[in-house]
Amino acid sequence: MAFRHCPFSLAIFAALCLLVSSGNAHSQTNGGVGQSSPDDTPTRPKIGLVLSGGGARGFAHIGVLKILEANNIPVDYIVGTSMGSIIGGLYAIGLSPDEIEQGVIGINWEDVFRDFANREYKSFRRKRDDVDFFNIHRVGITKDGLQISPGLIEGQQIELALDRLAYPGFHIQDFDKFQIPYRAIATDIETGDEFIIKKGNLARAMRASMSIPAALPPIEINQTLLVDGGIANNVPIDIARNMGADIVIVVDVSAPLLDKADLKSSIDVTGQLTTILTRRVADAQIKTLKEKDVLIIPGETDITSSDFERYPELIQSGEEAAMQQLDTLRALSLSRQDYLAYKASLATTARRQPVIDYIKINNQTPLRDDVIRVRIHQKVGEPLDVRQLEEDLSYIYGLDYSGSVVYSLEQRDGKTGLLVFVRDRPWAHQYLQFGLSIETAFEIQSITNFNASYNKNNLNGLAGELRATAGFGSEPGISAEYYQPLNPELDYFVSAKTGIKTRVVPTRIDDRIESIQRFNRRFLSLSAGKIFKQTT
């Protein structure tokens, strides 16, 4: 029994978005904030842009950026938390507000938060699991005991979406060398302290900054486990000032407090309590604003942190909120000539069509590297084909050996390399699965079976696996199977399987069921074959 959609999971995810969208218990630790001095007219004040977290509500940041550009307002530093880190990071590498909006439009947000590999990308073995086992979250067996996934979803689709948005800046690892110096804010899950990300892979930094606890697994950077930055510092005004900002423009898209009539469930009450407790530090940050600073608060209070499909309204609300502060913003405007000169002085960092000179595989799974490489169709010497690469990585993820399969770019000796990261899922090298089937046949009572399996999938680099199953109920049985692919494509295989099956068979005479008999059959099968491409 396979679940294609899980409303409960999405509801929990939405609730967790609410919990962290305004959270910001603030305590600064390592991570470092460096001083940056981009070339610009030295006489004008440096302007820092602070973009808060708020889930889908963060799309309002795009509207604010449109107004800033339309009114010739330069930005010298950008600091973002959660969704603010995504929009801010894309602007920092040189994407225009319109390009960022087009990137948002190109993402299927429902699929992003569904996360599980689409059936078309699954291997034949894993497709068979859809028939026999219904559980989405398997139970891993480790040396420390049983373990489930550290997040409600693994984040594969989210990471691919972030890769698609951020790849024009992948070749730059130092965020001070972006077109606009940039920082992403995350939270150290061990201490609760804020962690400032100033270097590395941009999409990875964004993913860490928006890693909602329990909904998404933590991200490890510099041996530190990181979750959503909104927990530690959702409105990081102090970070922008430490970078060198004389004046800050703050966009706060945090979810507002709910009215009494909207507090209908325990999740609503928990979210409200969290907002009340954590909002105090955010307000303390906002109280540091000075006379020339600008605070913009988009006003779409009826749109929640999980309403990702309502991005047109949210972008519009950002424009409207910025327009309400236009008199104050105009004090920061340059003449059109000076603004164009400022834009021209910025380094060109975004590479929208990088040509790939070499490909490197960073494979942390038990699979051999050639099993990964044979599934990547990007050609050396040609521009990066993002759509094809995403499909290739989806097939690798569908093999079901990795927690995520993502990519990056690097610049070395004047050449551009495509790096493919296949991250291990160490807690699920051995795992349990459970299934339940209920059927009615031959106009007799229903046949109910409960199935359980033990699986070990790290036997060798060619995806060899061992499975033992037991069935309880109307048709009990037990079996053990060894399955071994023979080549990197994993399409030739051999298999050995043995066990005992029970079948319920009715005896019919003149369309009447005279008796029901139960047959037990021992079996041993040896097979070899080839799997052809199929889409069932």
Query: Which whole number is the average pLDDT over 19-31?
Result: 43
Q: How many Å apart are CA 219 and CA 209, to the nearest integer?
A: 9
> Which of 500, 509, 501, 503 minimizes the C-alpha distance to 447?
503
Q: Count the domains in the chain.
A: 3
- Predicted pLDDT at 349: 86
Structure-token pair, residue 531: 């799997």
Q: Decide which of 402, 425, 448 is a domain's last residue.
A: 425
Spatial contact of 409 and 173, defined as CB atoms under 8 Å apart: no
* Residue percentage of the chain with pLDDT more than 90: 61
Q: Kindly state whether residue 455 falls inside one of the protein's structural domains.
A: yes
Q: Kindly state whether residue 383 falls inside one of the protein's structural domains.
A: yes
Look-up of token digits 């480790």: 142
Q: Quick one: 235 and 362 in the same domain?
A: no
Q: What is the CATH number of the domain that holds 254?
A: 3.40.1090.10
Give residues with Cβ within 8 angstroms of 246, minimum separation 6: 45, 46, 47
Q: Of the given ranges (132-136, 261-265, 315-319, 435-439), which has the lowest mean pLDDT? A: 132-136
Q: How many Å apart are CA 130 and CA 233, to the nearest integer?
A: 42
- The per-residue DSSP string of 412-461 comes to ETTEEEEEEEEEE-GGGSEEEEEEEEEE--TTSS-EEEEEEEEEE--SST
Query: Which whole number is the average pLDDT over 334-343?
Result: 95
Q: Quick one: 74 and 220 in the same domain?
A: yes
Q: Quick one: 417 and 515 in the same domain?
A: no
Interstrand relation of 492-509 and 477-485 (parallel, antiparallel or unpaired): antiparallel
Distances (CA, A) of 428 to 6, 13, 143, 278: 22, 23, 11, 35
Structure confidence by residue, pLDDT tens digits, 44-71: 999 999 999 988 999 999 999 999 999 9
Q: Quick one: 99 and 195 in the same domain?
A: yes
- Predicted pLDDT at 536: 58
Q: Quick one: 382 and 303 in the same domain?
A: no
Q: Kindly state whether residue 124 falls inside one of the protein's structural domains.
A: no
Q: Of the given ranges (166-180, 219-233, 272-286, 334-348), which has the lowest mean pLDDT? A: 272-286
Q: How many CB atoms lie within 10 A of CB 165?
A: 24
Identify the bridge partners of residue 188 per DSSP, sorted by sequence position. 226
Q: Kindly state whether residue 410 falls inside one of the protein's structural domains.
A: yes
Q: How many CB atoms lie within 10 A of CB 376?
A: 18
Q: How many Å apart are CA 454 and CA 149, to the nearest integer?
A: 17
Q: How many CB atoms lie within 10 A of CB 170?
A: 24
Q: Quick one: 397 and 256 in the same domain?
A: no
Check pLDDT > 70 for residue 7. Answer: no
Q: Kindly state whether residue 497 falls inside one of the protein's structural domains.
A: yes
Structure-token pair, residue 118: 């689409």
* Mean pLDDT, the chain, whole residue set: 86
Structural domain span for residue 413:
355-425
Give residues with Cβ within 8 angstroms of 259, minimum separation 6: none
Structure confidence by residue, pLDDT tens digits, 427-479: 889 999 988 888 776 565 678 888 899 999 989 999 999 999 999 988 899 99
Q: What is the CATH number of the domain that holds 405?
A: 3.10.20.310
- Predicted pLDDT at 136: 57
Q: Of the given ranges (141-145, 222-226, 352-356, 436-440), which has the lowest mean pLDDT? A: 436-440
Structure confidence by residue, pLDDT tens digits, 106-161: 888 777 877 667 788 888 888 878 776 655 568 999 998 998 887 777 888 899 99
Q: How many Å apart are CA 409 and CA 384, to the nearest integer?
A: 10
Q: How many Å apart are CA 100 and CA 90, to the nearest integer?
A: 7
pLDDT band at 186 (very low <50, low <70, confident <90, very high): very high
- Predicted pLDDT at 436: 83
Question: What is Dmax (Cα atoms) for the chain?
Answer: 100
Q: Kindly state whether residue 420 falls inside one of the protein's structural domains.
A: yes
Q: Quick one: 319 and 434 in the same domain?
A: no
> Which of 26, 91, 88, 100 minimizes the C-alpha distance to 250?
88
Query: Which whole number is the average pLDDT over 351-379?
Result: 96
Cα-based torsion angle of the residue sequence 159, 160, 164, 169 in order, rounded to the nearest 10 degrees: 40
Check pLDDT > 80 for residue 171. Answer: yes
State the Rg of the chain over Cα: 27
Q: Kindly state whether residue 136 falls inside one of the protein's structural domains.
A: no
Structure confidence by residue, pLDDT tens digits, 391-432: 999 999 999 999 899 999 999 999 999 999 999 988 889 999
- Predicted pLDDT at 23: 42
pTM over 0.85: no
Q: Decide which of 397, 425, 453 is a domain's last residue.
A: 425
Q: How many Å apart are CA 246 and CA 534, to the nearest integer?
A: 61
Check pLDDT > 90 for residue 39. Answer: no
Q: Quick one: 341 and 366 in the same domain?
A: no
Distances (CA, A) of 64 to 148, 184, 250, 303: 41, 19, 10, 17
Q: Quick one: 446 and 421 in the same domain?
A: no
Check pLDDT > 60 for residue 80. Answer: yes
Q: Decide which of 425, 446, 469 is a domain's last residue.
A: 425
Q: Kindly state whether residue 120 falls inside one of the protein's structural domains.
A: no
CA 62, 68, 70, 73 dihedral sign is: negative
pLDDT band at 182 (very low <50, low <70, confident <90, very high): very high
